[in-house]
Amino acid sequence: MSVTSDQEWVRGQFPRLDWLPDETLFSLCSRQHLVMGNLDPATTSTAVLGLSEKFIKHDIPCGIAALEQNGFHYWGNAESILLNHTIFSVFIPFQNKIKIEGAIITIKSDRIDSLKYRLGLISSGFGAEHPLKACPYCMREDVYAHGIAYWHLTHQYPGVLICPRHQAWLMVSTKSRRWSGRFEWSLPTEDCLIQQASSQKLWSRPVFMTLANNVIDLATIGRVTSFESCAVTAIYRTAVRQRGRLASLLDRIEPLRRFHLFESLPAVEQSAESFVNQLIRSPRRSIHPLKHLVLIDWLFDDLHSFLKAYNAEVARLALQVESIPSRKPDERVSLSNAAAPTKNTPRPKRLKGRLKEDLLSKLGKGVSKQELCEEFQITVSTINRLLRAHPATNALAIEARHSRELAEHRAQWQYLHSLHPEQGVQALRNTIPSLYAWLYRNDKSWLMVEGQTFIKPAHVERHPVDWEARDSRLLSMLRKVCEAVAGLPRGPVTTTELYAKVPMLSSCLENRDRYAQSRTYLSTVLHRSKSTVLHDHGAMR
């Protein structure tokens, strides 16, 4: 087939598929790939998203704005798909609104860029990889009801390790991983799913079930709104003071730390204190939602109790903000008290007696010229002529006017800070540059002092990593897997099998300067396996 005819076929009519219950966008695209009969993943990716196969993302996609242009408008608009058929909504509630808007723009475009870093996934300790997961019981029901197994959205959220419907441990896929099937469309099958380890049966099922329900509820909230960070940190601080000892936090975390995803959570009181301090202060950087849910589980037991406390705190802060006598931040403060000329303006008047005294008194107190023109039905020219005749009053009026402008600009800056308490001085300055410029020129000392009151980013104490202990643990895991595989009558161990059995292996090997013992052992095992294969092949010949 020629290039031209191939492009025409890509733009042609496709078998129309629609959403299955709780289905992800990646799953629907994989089913579309299947019914189109394409052998090359890039063909489907180009037809659906207008992108090459290197942009196939199973967790947070990119290029979804192109769905409507490529004939898939019946799937819904881009934002609806993003919120209801990807895991993106779980990252919204604790994010800054400005970052959320920027993330949505990025996802609609044709490049994901540094989105996961901006969302706080890279530096979270949980990693930015979200492997595909499936429940064996859901798969059977799906085949019976729909004729095919597919990826459920509720299973894909980070932190969901157990099926909320069947309370069964989820199996992890070997596809769409950095080490296997990275740029492919795939659906759940028994061949591509890793069976649960025997030790997993000993884990505390209720703990992981509670976490799964909280994650799913948080994603539901993220489809509608996000939290105000000032209210979140306020109720955290109050609850931490009431809770007291950090030992109980470690007791809550201990069952979770058995799974490699949660190994970065605190194990001692010193790191637990640092973990809590990071969350009870208004953050300047993004924090992974799983950290919030771990703290919420300790302080409030469940997400619903947290929401009650949050709503009460939001109501309290709203009353506090309303009591501030300030203008809205988008209103400009007039730097001149001159009243704008209007049609049929009266001519200047001669002022005498009581009227003159009242006018001078109010001018000396800083009442604006515009207000006085409306109150006394006089012109600005009359007021200016009166001030020229009374220089002492004019000086008092200038000083009072400057004081009033100072108070108004200060109030605006404080009101702006109350709306965005998590932002620093530079971010607020970029929001309303003219407001910052006026304060810098006319009230710099107050502005600098006020900047010192901004909540600084929480300092997270970095504890030294025991790389030798990590190397020993990884080596022990590799030996157990190799010994188990060696006892099976199906040939030597393979690299793919090792990655599947030891989930952390891929990320560990990325650090080329560490894990020396594990690397040596891995090289020896794989070399021995390769020699065995070659020897068996020669014997067969």
- Is it the case that residue 490 has pLDDT exceeding 70? no
Mean pLDDT of the chain: 79
CA distances, 446 to each of 330, 432, 453 (Å): 21, 18, 11
Model pLDDT, residue 43? 87
Task: Read off the pLDDT of each residue in 519-534 and give the average, rounded to a whole number.
Answer: 67
CA distances from 399 to 125, 283, 363, 402 (A): 56, 40, 11, 5
Q: Is residue 166 predicted with pLDDT exceeding 50?
A: yes
pLDDT category of residue 148 using cuts at 50, 70 and 90: very high
Encode pLDDT of 445-454 as tens digits: 888 888 777 7
Q: What is the pLDDT of residue 170?
A: 92
Write the secondary structure of 340-396 as one string of H (helix), E (strand) and C (coil): CCCCCCCCCCCCCHHHHHHHHHHHHCCCCHHHHHHHHCCCHHHHHHHHHHCHHHHHH
More confident residue, 469 or 335: 469
Residue 23 has pLDDT above 90, yes or no: yes
Q: Are 63 and 50 in contact (CB under 8 A)?
A: yes
pTM of this prediction exceeds 0.85: no
Q: Which range (197-206, 234-243, 371-380, 414-423) has the least confidence?
A: 197-206
Which of 74-83, 141-150, 370-379, 513-522 bottoms out in mean pLDDT, i.e. has the lowest? Answer: 370-379
Residue 533 has pLDDT above 70, yes or no: no
- Mean pLDDT of the region 217-227: 92
Question: Taking 70 as the threshold, does the pLDDT of residue 258 lie above it?
Answer: yes
Least confident piece of the model among 75-79, 153-157, 457-461? 457-461
pLDDT of 398 higher than 60: yes
- Which whole number is the average pLDDT over 225-244? 86
Residue predicted with more confidence, 350 or 56 = 56
Mean pLDDT for the stretch of residues 301-318: 89
What is the edge-to-edge ordering of all strands in the sheet holding 133-134?
A: 133-134, 171-173, 193-194
Q: How confident is the model at residue 222 (pLDDT cuts 50, 70, 90)?
A: very high
pLDDT at position 540 over 50? no
pLDDT of residue 476 exceeding 70, the answer is: yes
In this prediction, residue 216 carries a pLDDT of: 95
> What amino acid is encoded at 366 in this protein?
G
Separation CA 38–CA 36 (nearest Å): 6
In this prediction, residues 157-177 reach a mean pLDDT of 90
Phi–psi pair at 247, nearest 5 degrees: -60, -35
For residue 368, give the nearest of 409, 392, 334 by alpha carbon: 334
pLDDT value at residue 213:
94
